[in-house]
């Protein structure tokens, strides 16, 4: 943005080292996202895959609710309908029939549903909170990303050394990093940056729609590259996703009030009728 390494250094010093409050502010979504990811693992460990897929899609309407309450926005009935249609479409796209397995795992549905509820709330809150921070100041989008990801790196490093500290010390942090792994990390990083851009210039609900479209496109790519067969449920879900994206993008129309034409307008209209 500044085309200068000196300005880059000054910006980082000003917004990172001299602004601890801003770092703390952006550490909130980092911590919430960390909680969300762990809750998702706990939920998947205690619920069937199909139940998990259906209930986890509640993050889409939850994000819409957080947008309404935290950002004081309003959604039309058609937009609410498209949100729930998207929720159903994503569920169908990701739906896979249950497969029998010989491995018996003790599952606790109550813990699973509680974990999925926490994950859904965290997803909606963290996304809308980050959007509010991005749009409430003139601070650069890239600076905000640095502030948030520094907190995320710290939190995840602590988790890595708690769970795999001995292996990391023995074999090194980058053990097993092949060129393909690095490429996947690069793609994930680019995806995170573009997600921030989507949140900055649209909103979190539109981010959910773009993620749903990405799921459909990735499945289509799997058909072309790996010979995956398209099922009826996937085709139905893909249609619902596309229709919901179109409906959500339609402009709002306020039909609750009908304005009456004034006297001059009525007079001109009568004159036109007489002329005809």
pLDDT in tens, 213-260: 877 787 778 778 777 777 888 888 888 888 888 888 777 654 334 444
Q: How far apart are CA 229 and CA 226, in angstroms?
A: 9
Note the pLDDT of residue 98.
55
Kindly give the residue spans of alpha helices, DSSP state H, lying in the chain: 5-12, 20-46, 49-56, 59-71, 77-93, 109-135, 141-171, 179-201, 204-226, 232-248, 263-275
Q: Out of 98-102, 154-158, 186-190, pick the least confident.
A: 98-102
The pair phi, psi for residue 189, each rounded to 5°, is: -65, -45
Q: How far apart are CA 251 and CA 273, in angstroms?
A: 33
Mean pLDDT across 27-56: 83
Q: How far apart are CA 209 and CA 215, in angstroms?
A: 10
Mean pLDDT across 258-265: 50
CB 88 within 8 A of CB 230: no
Note the pLDDT of residue 115.
92
Mean pLDDT across 138-144: 83
Q: What's the burial of 139, exposed, middle or buried (CB within 10 Å: 0-12/13-18/19+)?
A: middle
Q: Which of 66, 71, 83 is nearest to 125 (CA)?
A: 66
Coil, strand or helix: which one is 26? helix
Angle of CA points 169, 173, 174, to nearest 5°: 140
Note the pLDDT of residue 33.
84
Tell me: pLDDT of 49 over 60: yes
Mean pLDDT of the chain: 80
Note the pLDDT of residue 259.
45
Of residues 104 and 200, more confidence is placed in 200
Tell me: pLDDT of 144 over 70: yes
Q: Which of 34, 45, 39 is nearest to 159 (CA)?
A: 34
User: Could you give the percent of the chain with pLDDT greater than 90?
Assistant: 7
Q: How far apart are CA 92 and CA 109, in angstroms?
A: 22
Query: Which tokens in the block code for residue 26?
Result: 């952006």
CB 93 within 8 A of CB 234: yes
Of residues 205 and 268, more confidence is placed in 205
Note the pLDDT of residue 103.
52
Tell me: pLDDT of 129 over 60: yes
Mean pLDDT across 84-100: 76
Q: Which of 149, 127, 133 is nearest to 203 (CA)?
A: 127
């Amino acid at each position: 943005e500044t085309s200068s390494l000196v300005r880059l250094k000054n910006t980082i010093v000003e917004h990172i080292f001299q602004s601890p409050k801003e770092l703390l502010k952006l550490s909130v979504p980092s911590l919430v996202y960390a909680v969300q990811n762990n809750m998702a693992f706990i939920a998947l460990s205690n619920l069937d895959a199909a139940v998990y897929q259906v209930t986890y899609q509640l993050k889409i309407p939850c994000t819409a609710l957080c947008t309404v309450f935290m950002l004081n926005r309003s959604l039309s009935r058609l937009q609410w309908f498209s949100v729930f249609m998207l929720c159903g479409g994503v569920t169908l796209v990701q739906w896979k029939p249950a497969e029998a397995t010989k491995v018996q795992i003790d599952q606790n549905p109550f813990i699973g549903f509680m974990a999925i509820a926490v994950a859904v709330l965290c997803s909606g809150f963290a996304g809308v909170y980050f959007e509010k921070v991005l749009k409430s100041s003139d601070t650069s989008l890239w600076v905000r990303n640095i502030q948030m990801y520094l907190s995320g790196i710290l939190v995840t490093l602590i988790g890595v050394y708690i769970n795999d500290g001995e292996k990391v010390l023995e074999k090194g942090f980058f053990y097993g990093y092949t060129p393909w792994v690095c490429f996947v990390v690069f793609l994930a990083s680019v995806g995170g940056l573009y997600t921030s851009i989507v949140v900055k210039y649209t909103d979190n609900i539109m981010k959910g729609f773009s993620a749903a479209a990405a799921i459909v496109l990735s499945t289509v790519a799997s058909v072309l590259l790996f010979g995956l067969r398209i099922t009826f449920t996937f085709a139905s879900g893909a249609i619902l996703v596309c229709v919901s994206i179109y409906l959500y993008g339609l402009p709002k129309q306020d039909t609750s009030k009908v304005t009456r034409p004034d006297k001059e307008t009525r007079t001109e209209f009568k004159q036109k009728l007489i002329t005809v």
